[in-house]
């Protein structure tokens, strides 16, 4: 065979050989190679997710949109994403609460991991430009927590023993918490306030001290990060005296011998002084100040309610409590309920005679008709906002006078049973409910705002831990009105209607607000207020930096801001400005305090408060050399 035929046969043979050993094709997509943990059941509450890919990743492609960890109810998991070379790590937010439910992961919960891939525009990609081949999703489930413990719930980086907990606050100021640190994380369920108490030095050394010498402490875990080399503050515990301010002097921190503190592996942790030989002594000192005779000073100690502004603070649930007792604090009535119904917007017929909402509203334009004939109690942990109409089911044979008489008789009977003692709010509501007294009760943990109308044939009781805000007397058509505005003890009418009857029927309750025994909140509660202008007479030329603020955060947060009121220039006054240090203000002869208190859900009811604020300023006049 020769010529063209031979060449064709040779070409076919070469093609056959090439088909048997094809050349490797280049990679066209980024691939996920490995996922840890491999066991998707029983993932620890602090366990990292580690994802390995086929190439080095472009860091800018790794973000909350391209890598998502979500719970089965759709909520995003709190945590930190990091990327290094071909690896992505997700570290869940640390667990701080004793019930182990406030971390990134919750116990015995199913989660999903979602990765964005082709054809999404925000897909994960490599440094060379390859995108993840497809959208990926898989699930895992966290470890269940049982009592008593039947196994580990945390991954422990020190499996052999526990690290010491060190007392760091050897010297502190009156409202500062005592600070303890540990170089590894702590099992939050092992932290118990009862294991710690503070003693004056004389009682600390005395063998026969009395129980009254002990100052109870509230223990909170405020940081609980993973262990890192050369880091001695992975965990931070704060111990705060409950409802008191420490006087300057020497104290001893007493820790029970059988303290229950444990690390993630269940190993005991012991509390020590930094030098490991001294006992747990500390000293409280007043804050040192540099005196300047040319400065004027204003001390706001919150004992005069005349310097309180009734203006509502935007963005808050309601007003904080300034009653003249020397504090701005939280006055949350236990009668505000459990909040189990969540956010409730009422409309139409309402047959329930008991409601426990997180927030409660009647939207503008809506009409709600209460169907129950006895005592109706509508509770809200947060704000109550009534923009529509709230009324009851009236009948021809029903007498408003009879309802009023029945209500007054029930209160008189209660006082008789209490021997004349002033009743608590909870006792009043229980008495009304027990006797099926026809009445409607609205209880708000924060503000109770009425911009609509209430029309009832039975007595109305309004109770607010914040302020009761009613635009006009004409919005209330009831046979009797009892109210308890915890902040001012009066109704905040902003528009008066001469001759209207309801204001004559309104009566301020002298009942006591009973606070909750344990923390009932289902979501954070933010309360705030403004003071009036400081100094009252005006005339500050320049404000000094860093006012002295005595506060206690408790199981929440407290903050003081400063609203600068600009002097009028050319007949016009500039807009107010809010700063965290009054020294930043220019041409503001007066300021107002903006005090914000926030309480968080948790195991302990320990709300924050502000004790006093001291501002110093140069009086207005000739400018001084600086």
| Three-class SS of 255-324 | ECCCCCCEECCCCECCEECCCCCCCCEEEECCCCCCCCCCCEEEEECCCCHHHEECCCCCCCCEECEECC
pLDDT of 557 reads: 92
CA torsion, ordered 577, 580, 586, 592, to nearest 10 deg: 60
Give the span between the Cα atoms of 265 and 291, in whole angstroms.
Answer: 52
3-class DSSP assignment, residue 240: strand
Give the span between the Cα atoms of 421 and 424, in whole angstroms.
Answer: 9
3-class DSSP assignment, residue 364: coil
Q: Kindly report the backbone phi and psi dihedral angles of residue 9, in degrees, each rounded to the nearest multiple of 5, phi listed first.
A: -65, -40
Residue 37 has pLDDT above 80, yes or no: yes
Give the span between the Cα atoms of 390 and 529, in whole angstroms.
Answer: 28
Of 73-77, 137-141, 428-432, 586-590, give the lowest mean pLDDT range: 586-590
Range 493-510 average pLDDT: 52
The CATH class of the 165-284 domain is mainly beta
Residue 339 has pLDDT above 60, yes or no: yes
3-class DSSP assignment, residue 545: coil
Model confidence at 307, pLDDT cuts 50, 70, 90, reads confident
Residue 72 has pLDDT above 50, yes or no: yes
Model confidence at 618, pLDDT cuts 50, 70, 90, reads confident
CA torsion, ordered 125, 129, 133, 139, to nearest 10 deg: -10
Give the span between the Cα atoms of 511 and 515, in whole angstroms.
Answer: 13
Neighbours of 573 (CB within 10 A): 11
Residue 390 has pLDDT above 90, yes or no: yes
Give the span between the Cα atoms of 483 and 487, in whole angstroms.
Answer: 12
Model confidence at 325, pLDDT cuts 50, 70, 90, reads confident
Model confidence at 9, pLDDT cuts 50, 70, 90, reads very low
pLDDT of 288 reads: 62
Task: Judge whether 590 and 530 are in contact, CB under 8 Å.
Answer: no
Listed by start position, the domains of the chain span 32-142, 165-284, 296-328+522-619, 334-508
Give the span between the Cα atoms of 357 and 595, in whole angstroms.
Answer: 26
pLDDT of 308 reads: 83
Would 165-284 and 296-328+522-619 be classified into the same CATH topology?
Answer: no
Higher pLDDT, 297 or 443: 443
Across 8-22, 142-156, 193-207, 573-587, the highest mean pLDDT is recorded for: 142-156
All residues at 6 or more sequence positions from 463 whose CB lies less than 8 Å from its CB, including other chains: 333, 335, 425, 441, 442, 443, 444, 448, 483, 484, 486, 509, 513
Mean pLDDT of the chain: 84
Model confidence at 21, pLDDT cuts 50, 70, 90, reads very low
Helix extents (H) in 21-83: none
Angle at 269 between CA 267 and CA 274, to 5 degrees: 145
pLDDT of 370 reads: 94
Q: Which CATH architecture has domain 32-142?
A: Sandwich (2.60)
All residues at 6 or more sequence positions from 566 whose CB lies less than 8 Å from its CB, including other chains: 573, 574, 575, 576, 577, 587, 588
DSSP state of 620: S
Of 132-136, 355-359, 457-461, 510-514, give the lowest mean pLDDT range: 510-514
3-class DSSP assignment, residue 425: helix
Give the span between the Cα atoms of 202 and 551, in whole angstroms.
Answer: 27
Of 272, 337, 326, the C-alpha closest to 300 is: 326
Q: Kindly report the backbone phi and psi dihedral angles of residue 516, in degrees, each rounded to the nearest multiple of 5, phi listed first.
A: -70, 150
Range 447-459 average pLDDT: 92
pLDDT of 25 reads: 44
Range 265-269 average pLDDT: 91
Digit-coded pLDDT (tens) for 101-139: 999 999 999 999 999 999 998 999 999 999 999 999 999
Of 77-91, 179-193, 441-455, 489-503, give the lowest mean pLDDT range: 489-503
Higher pLDDT, 292 or 83: 83
Model confidence at 16, pLDDT cuts 50, 70, 90, reads very low
Residue 4 has pLDDT above 70, yes or no: no
pLDDT of 505 reads: 53
Range 537-541 average pLDDT: 77
Model confidence at 6, pLDDT cuts 50, 70, 90, reads very low
Angle at 150 between CA 148 and CA 155, to 5 degrees: 115
Q: How many CA atoms lie within 13 A of 339 on its CB side?
A: 20
Range 292-307 average pLDDT: 82
pLDDT of 555 reads: 86
Q: Kindly report the backbone phi and psi dihedral angles of residue 334, in degrees, each rounded to the nearest multiple of 5, phi listed first.
A: -60, -25
Residue 604 has pLDDT above 90, yes or no: no
The domain 296-328+522-619 having CATH identifier 2.60.120: the answer here is yes
Range 345-367 average pLDDT: 95
Of 265-269, 275-279, 523-527, give the lowest mean pLDDT range: 275-279
Residue 397 has pLDDT above 80, yes or no: no
**Residue that the structure tokens 């701080």 belong to:** 96
Q: Is 433 exposed, middle or buried (0-12, 13-18, 19+ CB in 10 A)?
A: middle
pLDDT of 18 reads: 41
Range 325-351 average pLDDT: 93
Give the span between the Cα atoms of 107 and 147, in whole angstroms.
Answer: 13
DSSP state of 499: T
Q: Is 23 exposed, middle or buried (0-12, 13-18, 19+ CB in 10 A)?
A: exposed
Of 586, 587, 540, 613, the C-alpha closest to 296 is: 540
Of 267-276, 320-329, 504-513, give the lowest mean pLDDT range: 504-513
Range 438-447 average pLDDT: 95
Residue 236 has pLDDT above 80, yes or no: yes
H helix and E strand count, the chain: 5, 47
Digit-coded pLDDT (tens) for 460-501: 999 999 999 887 777 888 888 888 886 555 565 543 333 343
Range 273-293 average pLDDT: 76
């Amino acid at each position: 065979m020769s010529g063209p035929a031979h060449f064709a046969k040779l070409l076919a043979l070469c093609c056959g050989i090439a088909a048997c050993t094809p050349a490797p094709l280049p990679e066209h997509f980024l691939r996920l190679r490995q996922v840890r943990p491999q066991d998707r059941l029983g993932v620890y509450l602090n366990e990292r997710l580690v994802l390995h890919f086929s190439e080095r990743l472009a860091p800018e492609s790794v973000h909350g949109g391209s890598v998502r960890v979500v719970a089965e109810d759709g909520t995003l998991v709190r945590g930190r994403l990091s990327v290094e070379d071909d690896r992505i790590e997700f570290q869940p937010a640390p667990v701080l609460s004793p019930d182990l439910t406030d971390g990134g992961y919750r116990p015995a919960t199913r989660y999903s991991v979602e990765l964005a891939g082709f054809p999404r525009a925000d897909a994960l990609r490599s440094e060379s430009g390859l995108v993840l081949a497809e959208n990926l999703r898989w699930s895992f489930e966290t470890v269940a927590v049982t009592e008593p413990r039947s196994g580990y719930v945390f991954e422990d980086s020190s499996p052999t023993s526990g690290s010491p907990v060190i007392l760091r606050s050897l010297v502190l100021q009156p409202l500062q918490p005592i600070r303890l640190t540990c170089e590894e994380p702590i099992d939050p369920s092992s932290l118990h306030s009862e294991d710690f108490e503070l003693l004056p030095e004389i009682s600390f050394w005395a063998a026969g001290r009395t129980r009254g010498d002990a100052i109870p402490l509230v223990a909170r875990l405020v940081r609980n990060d993973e262990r890192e080399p050369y880091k001695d503050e992975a965990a931070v515990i704060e111990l705060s005296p409950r409802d008191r301010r420490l006087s300057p002097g020497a104290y001893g921190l007493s820790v029970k011998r059988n303290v229950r503190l444990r690390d993630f592996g269940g190993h005991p942790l012991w509390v020590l002084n930094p030098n490991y030989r001294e006992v747990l002594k500390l000293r409280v000192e007043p804050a040192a100040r540099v005196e300047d005779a040319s400065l004027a000073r204003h001390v706001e100690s919150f004992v005069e309610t005349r310097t309180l502004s009734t203006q509502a603070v935007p963005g808050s649930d309601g007003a904080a409590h300034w009653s003249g007792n020397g504090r701005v604090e939280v006055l949350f009535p236990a009668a505000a309920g459990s909040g189990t119904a969540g956010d409730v917007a009422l409309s139409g017929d309402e047959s329930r005679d008991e409601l426990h909402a997180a927030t409660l509203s009647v939207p503008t334009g809506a009409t709600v008709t209460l169907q129950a004939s006895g005592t109706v109690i509508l509770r809200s942990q947060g704000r109550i906002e009534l923009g529509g109409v709230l009324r009851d089911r009236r009948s021809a044979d029903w007498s408003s006078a009879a309802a009023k008489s029945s209500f007054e008789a029930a209160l008189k009977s209660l006082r008789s049973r209490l021997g004349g003692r002033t009743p608590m709010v909870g006792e009043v509501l229980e008495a009304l409910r027990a006797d099926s007294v026809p009445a409607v009760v609205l209880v708000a943990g924060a503000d109770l705002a009425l911009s609509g109308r209430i029309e009832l044939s039975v007595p109305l009781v309004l109770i607010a831990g914040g302020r009761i805000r009613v635009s006009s007397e004409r919005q209330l058509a009831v046979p009797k009105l009892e109210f308890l505005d915890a902040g001012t003890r009066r109704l905040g009418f902003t528009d008066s209607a001469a001759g209207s009857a309801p204001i004559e029927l309104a009566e301020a309750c002298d009942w006591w607000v009973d606070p909750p025994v344990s923390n009932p909140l289902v979501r954070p509660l933010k309360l705030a207020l403004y003071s009036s202008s400081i100094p009252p007479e005006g005339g500050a030329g320049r404000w000094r930096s860093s006012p002295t603020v005595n506060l206690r955060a408790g199981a929440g947060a407290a903050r003081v801001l400063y609203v600068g009121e600009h002097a009028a220039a050319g007949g016009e006054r500039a807009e107010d400005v809010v700063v965290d240090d009054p020294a930043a203000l220019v041409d503001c002869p007066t300021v107002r305090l903006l005090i914000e208190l926030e309480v968080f859900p948790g195991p302990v009811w320990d709300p924050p408060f502000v004790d006093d604020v001291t501002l110093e300023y140069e009086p207005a006049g000739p400018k001084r050399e600086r």
